[in-house]
């Protein structure tokens, strides 16, 4: 039967066959798809072409950009970066994104007037993640995945306006996932396959679309040439004027578990001047819509990856609640300060470090010492192993971040004296002749995150002499003796009382001996979701009337998890509240009195303590951000 006649007959029966579900999908052992997942589902998760899934810029430092010049600079560098976009960035044409990048919006992030192109003919755009950004009014495409780019994850964005396509995937690109995006206010949503004559696309263009909201867009949801399989599941189609999905030029498309509402033509096999493709439809819901055109067979996506299909009747509510920008704040918290360092106080709005200043790279001792002593904001990237002596002072408004997994400061440490608004991340501190990091003398708003501490002579991290609004998170304390001291001495009450507000979360105290932390005078000190393993003297000690909340932690082979009522050594008793902790082959937690609730200052969520060992082992230390 000629395609035009077949379409006419299908349209004539569309009123009769509204809301007709098709065959149920086979069961999968995969977990249900979460809108907050921090890793992709579908083709971007597949190990192929020398790439183990899609990790983006995880191996590199995190930078924040507020303008097109900086965005283009970091997107085009040949090293991994997590690029945080803040505010509205306007430019024309396309910015090229090369391999190993995460581009993620923080807050109300928007790219207007231009778009992002994954790779060029000479510089590949592999292993790229784009999340949580509003794209508006692009002069060409909002995102173009092209030139054999592979392992690309486009997630939780908002696409509208523009000149051509909102999202095109073409020119032999492969292993792409498009998830939880909101497409609206435009005709052409998403194209897969460059043209009818670009036969180089055959054997590539493996793409997964799931949980997207195609909201009043006219066509291309997607339109596919040559790709097989293209997997379209659990998307919400509403008021799509021309059609939902088109499979052409021998493409193979599986359409399953979707919800079509007010869509006269849910799918076409062949479209416009493009020859027919293959399309299998199963377990979809059609409300006030036509019936899909189908033809042939399609390679099963489960050949490549496991997945679970949500009940299609629940798709509208799930997708409306989860798709678009502003939905992955919890996921972004790993790259945004939390706890006391996030609190607006003492004239400081949280902890932002060197944002707004120049970005420099230190590879020598002289460079590092010069940069940390510079007045004004600065992002200081540490590359390789740098030896220093003693404790070196760090001026306010600095971000000190290691590049990759080999950034190390050895022999000495960093000292904060009346300093503030400083971030230290992704650095190995080894063999410090005194403290590795000393936060002292009324310093405030300091974030110490994703570092590794090995064998300092004294403390790994000391927070003393009236310092406050400090967060210590996701660090690996490996075999240290004195891990963390809070409060200078028993005789320093006049300076430390009323200060020393510290959050300690998701750290791995791994065979370290004591002080995890030892606290004098500070209140509240909030110790949550840390993994304590084989700490031979003790884990936490609250002394000298300190107030410490210990919650949601996992203690393993720790004979003395907590001291408080009895004090410790020569220090008098403190106050300590413990709740919802797990003790495995460990003693009990000594408690005493009451403690000011951290929620007086900030909001937080406590992970299930049973999951803490796995979460912390997977996330702590260097090379994770």
Just list the catalytic residues: 220
* Beta-ladder partners of 47: 52
- Backbone φ/ψ region at 515: left (φ over 0), alpha (ψ -120 to 50), beta: left
> Are 371 and 362 contacting, i.e. CB atoms less than 8 angstroms apart?
yes
Q: Which helix (H) or strand (E) holds 248?
A: strand 245-248
Please give the sequence-ordered ranges of beta strands (E in DSSP) within 564-604, or none if there are none: 575-579, 582-584
Q: Which of 559, 488, 486 is nearest to 526 (CA)?
A: 486
Q: Where would I find the beta strands (DSSP E) of 455-571? A: 459-463, 468-473, 476-478, 482-486, 502-505, 508-510, 518-520, 525-528, 531-533, 540-543, 547-551, 554-556, 562-563
In degrees to the nearest 10, what's the CA dihedral of 616, 618, 620, 625? -140
Token pair, residue 255, equals 């359409």
Exposure string over 33-48, b if 16+ CB within 10 A, otherwise e: bebeeeebbbbbbbee
Q: How far apart are CA 49 and CA 126, in angstroms?
A: 10
**Distances from the Cα of 194 to the Cα of 163, 223, 232, 252, angstroms:** 17, 10, 19, 16
CB atoms within 10 A of CB 383: 17
The Cα–Cα gap between 592 and 563 comes to: 9
Q: To which residue do tokens 């001026």 refer?
A: 395
Please tell me whether the peptide bond between 343 and the residue prior to it is cis, using omega within 30 degrees of 0.
no
Contact by Cβ (8 Å): 257, 284:
yes
Element (H, E) at 82: strand 81-90
| Helix (H/G/I), strand (E/B), else coil: 3 | helix
């Amino acid at each position: 039967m000629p395609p035009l006649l077949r379409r006419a007959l299908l349209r004539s029966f569309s009123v009769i066959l509204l809301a007709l579900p098709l065959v149920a999908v086979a069961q999968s052992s995969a977990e249900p798809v979460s809108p907050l997942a921090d890793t992709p589902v579908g083709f971007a998760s597949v190990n192929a072409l020398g790439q183990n899934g899609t990790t983006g810029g995880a191996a590199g430092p995190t930078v924040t950009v507020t303008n097109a010049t900086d965005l283009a600079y970091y997107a085009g560098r040949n090293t991994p970066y997590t690029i945080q976009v803040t505010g509205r960035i306007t430019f024309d044409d396309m910015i090229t994104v090369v391999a190993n990048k995460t581009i993620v919006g923080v807050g109300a992030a928007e790219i207007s007037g231009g778009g992002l192109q994954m790779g060029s003919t000479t510089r590949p755009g592999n292993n790229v993640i784009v999340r949580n950004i509003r794209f508006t009014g692009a002069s060409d495409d909002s995102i173009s995945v092209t030139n054999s780019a592979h392992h690309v994850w486009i997630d939780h964005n908002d696409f509208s306006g523009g000149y051509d396509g909102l999202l095109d995937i073409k020119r032999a690109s492969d292993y792409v996932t498009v998830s939880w995006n909101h497409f609206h206010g435009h005709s052409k949503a998403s194209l897969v396959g460059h043209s009818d004559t670009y036969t180089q696309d055959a054997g590539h263009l493996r793409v997964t679309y799931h949980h997207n909201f195609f909201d009043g867009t006219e066509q291309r949801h997607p339109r596919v040439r040559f790709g097989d399989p293209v997997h379209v599941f659990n998307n919400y189609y509403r008021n799509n004027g021309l059609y939902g999905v088109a499979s052409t030029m021998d493409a193979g498309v599986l359409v399953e578990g979707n919800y079509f509402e007010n869509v006269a033509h849910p799918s076409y096999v062949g479209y416009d001047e493009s020859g027919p493709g293959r399309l299998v439809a199963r377990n979809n819901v059609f409300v006030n819509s036509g019936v899909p055109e189908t033809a042939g067979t399609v390679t099963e996506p489960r050949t490549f990856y496991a997945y679970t299909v949500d009940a299609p009747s629940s798709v509208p509510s799930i997708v409306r609640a989860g798709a678009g920008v502003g939905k992955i704040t919890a996921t972004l918290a790993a790259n945004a300060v939390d706890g006391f360092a996030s609190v607006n106080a003492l004239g400081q709005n949280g902890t932002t470090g060197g944002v707004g200043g120049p970005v420099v790279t230190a590879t020598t001792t002289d460079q590092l010492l010069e940069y940390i002593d510079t007045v004004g904001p600065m992002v200081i990237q540490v590359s390789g192993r740098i030896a220093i002596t003693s404790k070196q002072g760090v001026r306010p408004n600095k971000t000190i971040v290691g590049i990759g997994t080999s950034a190390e400061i050895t022999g000495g440490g960093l000292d904060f004296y009346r300093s503030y608004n400083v971030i230290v991340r992704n650095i190995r501190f080894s063999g410090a002749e005194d403290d590795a990091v000393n936060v002292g003398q009324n310093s405030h708003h300091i974030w110490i995150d994703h570092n590794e501490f090995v064998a300092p002579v004294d403390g790994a991290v000391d927070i003393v002499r009236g310092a406050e609004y400090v967060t210590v998170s996701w660090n690996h304390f490996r075999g240290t003796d004195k891990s963390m001291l809070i409060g200078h001495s028993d005789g320093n009450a006049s300076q430390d009382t009323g200060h020393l507000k510290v959050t300690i979360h998701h750290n791995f105290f791994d065979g370290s001996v004591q002080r995890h932390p030892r606290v004098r005078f500070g209140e509240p000190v909030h110790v949550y979701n840390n993994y304590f393993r084989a700490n031979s003297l003790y884990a936490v000690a609250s002394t000298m009337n300190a107030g410490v909340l210990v919650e949601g932690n996992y203690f393993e082979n720790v004979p003395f998890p907590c001291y408080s009522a009895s004090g410790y050594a020569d220090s008098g008793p403190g106050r300590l509240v413990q709740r919802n902790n797990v003790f495995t082959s460990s003693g009990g937690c000594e408690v005493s009195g009451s403690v000011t609730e951290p929620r007086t200052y900030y909001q937080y969520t406590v992970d299930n303590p049973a999951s803490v060992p796995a979460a912390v082992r997977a996330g702590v230390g260097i090379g994770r951000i």
